[in-house]
């Protein structure tokens, strides 16, 4: 499992670089490691900057499907936005309300380097926008209102 970098580490504020060689051994090895880390940390998404890699790569778990995303680019955003509570593996114990577009259309490269288009709404649209913010050096706490702490719970 990879170490998740937490705020205020300056790596989280850097603009990530485009991935040019998706088929490289290093990049392909990173895919299952990021997926495992996301699951172990009970996250719904993980961006490469969160594990110290300054590249435009995300993994997302949505409806038990894992999306591996390279070089995402939001092409269209809904006019309508909505508020929703967000947290982040890189800002542990903090939650806040963030206003995001209700739906987005995004293109990206998959793990094989093939161009894909996804139209997302609701929770998936929110996750995509949150994770893409990481690639641009933006943390949810910079956009959030009503930030509050959640005490960790002990499993019985």
Q: Is 131 annotated as catalytic? A: yes
Q: Say how far apart CA 151 and CA 64 lie, in whole Å.
A: 27
Q: Is residue 69 a contact partner of residue 45, using CB atoms and an 8 Å limit?
A: no
Q: Which of 33, 131, 142, 151 is the catalytic position?
A: 131
Reading the block at residue 98, the tokens are: 């963030």
Q: Are 132 and 58 in contact (CB under 8 A)?
A: yes
DSSP state of 55: B
- Which residue pairs, CB below 8 angstroms and at least 24 apart, start in 31-36? 31/59, 31/68, 31/111, 33/1, 33/2, 34/2, 34/59, 35/59, 35/61, 35/66, 35/68, 36/1, 36/2
**Catalytic residue list:** 131
């Amino acid at each position: 499992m990879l170490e998740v970098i937490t705020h205020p580490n300056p790596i989280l504020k850097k603009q990530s670089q485009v991935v040019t060689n998706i088929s490289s051994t290093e990049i392909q090895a990173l895919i299952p490691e990021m997926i495992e880390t996301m699951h172990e940390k009970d996250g719904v998404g993980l961006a490469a900057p969160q594990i110290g890699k300054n590249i435009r790569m995300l993994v997302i778990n949505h409806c038990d499907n894992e999306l591996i995303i390279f070089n995402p680019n939001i092409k269209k955003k809904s006019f309508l936005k909505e508020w929703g509570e967000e947290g982040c593996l890189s800002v542990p114990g903090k939650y806040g309300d963030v206003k995001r577009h209700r739906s987005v259309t995004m293109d990206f490269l998959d793990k094989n380097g093939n161009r894909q288009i996804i139209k997302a709404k609701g929770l998936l649209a929110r996750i995509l926008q949150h994770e893409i913010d990481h690639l641009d050096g933006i943390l949810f706490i910079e956009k959030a209102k009503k930030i509050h702490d959640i005490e960790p719970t002990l499993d019985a």
